[in-house]
Amino acid sequence: MMRTGDAAPDAETSAALFGLAGARHINLVADLREIGPAVDTVIRGCARPGVEEPVLDAMRLALTEALNNIIEHSAHPSDVPIFVCVVANDTLARICIEDRGRELPSALLTPPAPEPVAEETALDDLADLDALPEGGWGWMLIHASVDRVAHERVNGRNFTLLERSMVVDPERDIAIAPCADIDGEAQSAAAGAHAGAKIEALS
Amino acid sequence: MNKEFCSNLTNSIVHALHEQKEGVPALKCHEEAGRLVVVVEGPRLDASISPTFKSDVAALIGRTNQDLVIDFREVSFLDSTALGTLVGLRKQIVLPRRLALRGLAPSLRRIFALTQLDAVFTIEGQGPTGPQAVSA
């Protein structure tokens, strides 16, 4: 999956632009299947005692979405190398993504305002449902998950920075969608199934 | 859908997914109070997996008239492509049928809140647990 040696990152530029001197780079190609393992490696590099899970979850989401966007909008063909490096301490993490693909569309680099979604009752109408977008949240989620996003194009390479405080911000890191109770009939059946499972486990 | 049909369907879907691509989560389905529950075996539902996931769940939607519950208890990560896939599936469920999502970890519920897609889906709690819930 991840490779080293077949191409070199421009460590000098990422250090000069974003202060990531001495960071270890990992290497992936523009294949969506490589994102998960690469992101896991980077986030493991950010984890340390005292850093809470919502911070790492937010960084995982931001990095995944950034790589999704680079692969979908910039990095073609698929053998374009992508490098990710990270510098983290107890208070701050800086992740730099370097790719040699096309310049990212500038519209992707500014935080978009979320488009209001119609009320659920209206969405039972098929016409309203059909109008719902099936994508386009990537950069909004990135900007909602990190403190700073920066982008530079140098020597035909894109350098994208994601900077994030290691402290939980309850307002943005722990926003929770409301959870409905299931209806009475289903709840009753569910309770029965659960009880059945318990009985089976005890016997 | 009777239990035998559901069981056959489950086996065929799991088998098909394993043949298609390594790393794609299998789906396990069972009936629960008249609803078809699809448990997504984690840990990730992302851009690399979403097309296969969408076609498999769409096939399930087309083969039953039941309400559908997609259970994410085993999923720890979801990206915006997966969100788009769920919206696409939501469009295929027309009244009086319903689509509910349940077992979403806090990090996943955060994404629904940020995108305001919590208004589009019925989001339920954890639901029943235990072996019967995923293998009936």
When the pLDDT of each residue in chain B is averaged and rounded to a whole number, the result is 82
Count other Cβ atoms within 10 Å, centred on residue A199: 11
Residue A85, φ and ψ in degrees, nearest 5: -135, 155
Q: Could A64 and B111 be called an inter-chain contact, meaning their C-beta atoms sit closer than 8 Å?
A: no
The pLDDT tens digits of the residues spanning B11-37 come to 445 444 444 456 667 889 999 999 999
Q: How many CB pairs under 8 A join A and B?
A: 160
How far is residue A156's CA from residue A35's CA, in Å, rounded to a whole number?
22
- Please name the residues between 52 and 91 in chain B that touch chain A, using a CB distance below 8 Å: 77, 79-81, 83-85, 87-88, 90-91
Which strand (E) or helix (H) includes residue A83?
strand A81-88
Residue given tokens 């994410």 in the structure block: B72
> Nearest CB to B84: which of A57, A64, A135?
A135
Taking the C-alpha atoms of residue B93 and residue A182, their distance in angstroms, rounded to an integer, is 18
Q: Are B93 and A105 in contact (CB under 8 A)?
A: no
How close A191 gets to chain B, by Cα (Å)? 7
List pLDDT tens digits, range B31-60: 999 999 999 998 999 999 999 999 999 999
Chain A closest-CA separation from residue B44 CA (Å): 8
DSSP state of A123: G
Greater confidence (B6 vs A76) lies with: A76
Place of tokens 């559901």: B6
More confident call, A172 vs B6:
A172
- Structure-block tokens of residue A197: 């499972």
Higher pLDDT, A82 or A195: A82
Q: What is the ipTM of this complex?
A: 0.82
Please give the full DSSP string across A143-160, using - where no structure is assigned.
Answer: HHHSSEEEEEEETTEEEE
**pLDDT for B105:** 95
For the record, the structure tokens of A132 come out as 């719902």
What rounded mean pLDDT belongs to chain A? 80
- Above 80 in pLDDT, residue B83? yes
Q: Are strands B68-71 and B99-102 parallel, antiparallel or unpaired?
A: parallel
Whole-angstrom Cα distance, residue B136 to residue B131? 8
Q: Which residue of B has its CA nearest to A182?
A: B124
pLDDT at A131: 87
Convert the pLDDT of each residue in A36-77 to its tens digit: 999 999 999 999 999 999 999 999 999 999 999 999 887 666
